Amino acid sequence: MALRELSSLEKYLGQKKANKYSTQGDKKVPVLQNNNGPPLVGLVTIACHLAKEAKRPELLGDTAESRAVVQQWLEYRVTKLDSCTKEDIKTVLKDLNLYLQDKVYLAGNQFTLADVFVYYGIHPVIVDLAIQDREQYVNVTRWFDHIQRYPGVRHHLPPVAVLRNRIYTSRHH
């Protein structure tokens, strides 16, 4: 999973040369074989490295503050989201929904790696949501739909229909 996310990120960043990855341990933590130094370990660490290498530092935030916010959500992704149980999901969605109430992206008005990886991480949760729940967490849904349509992000994941576009109208009148 993590490797597919990284390969999607590489595509998004337009990197041509294929990086070599392996995984480590039961949790299959990704490892990047780095020519100029020791290997890098961890999804977030590697993702940030790739963004820097592609000369896209803005994806990590453009102020000290937004950089911290981006790192915070990346950490949230690999800790809270990746280990959340069925009961936790409601809390996660509720919190995110409140957080996103006045934001376009996780770091405010700017698209960052936080959006990419929280999107990847939350995708299975959104897929499993009933439409009623998707409507309940309207800010999450809005953000999610926005990110999945962001050019070049979705790659390995199937699109999720989050809006009610009725194929038919009700029969009565």
| 19 in contact with another protein (CB under 8 A) | no
Cα distance from N-terminal residue to C-terminal residue, the chain: 48
b/e sequence 33-66, b meaning 16+ C-beta within 10 Å: eeeeeeebebbbbbbbebbeeeeeeebbbeeeeb
Pairing of strands 40-41, 21-24: unpaired
Give the interface segment with another protein, choosing from 6-14, 15-23, 164-172 (CB under 8 A). 164-172
Distance CA 58, CA 109 (A): 12
Query: Residue 72, Cβ neighbours under 10 Å: how many?
Result: 13
Mark residues 68-107: x for contact with another protein by CB under 8 A, - for none. Answer: xx-xx--xx-xx-xxxxxx---xx--xx--xx-x------
Q: Are 69 and 96 in contact (CB under 8 A)?
A: no
Complex with another protein: residue 35 or 85, whichever CB lies closer = 85
# chain residues binding another protein, by CB under 8 A: 63
| 154 in contact with another protein (CB under 8 A) | no
Interacting residues with another protein (CB under 8 A): 1, 4, 26, 29, 40-45, 48-49, 64-65, 67-69, 71-72, 75-76, 78-79, 81-86, 90-91, 94-95, 98-99, 101, 108, 121, 123-124, 127-132, 136, 156-159, 161, 163-173
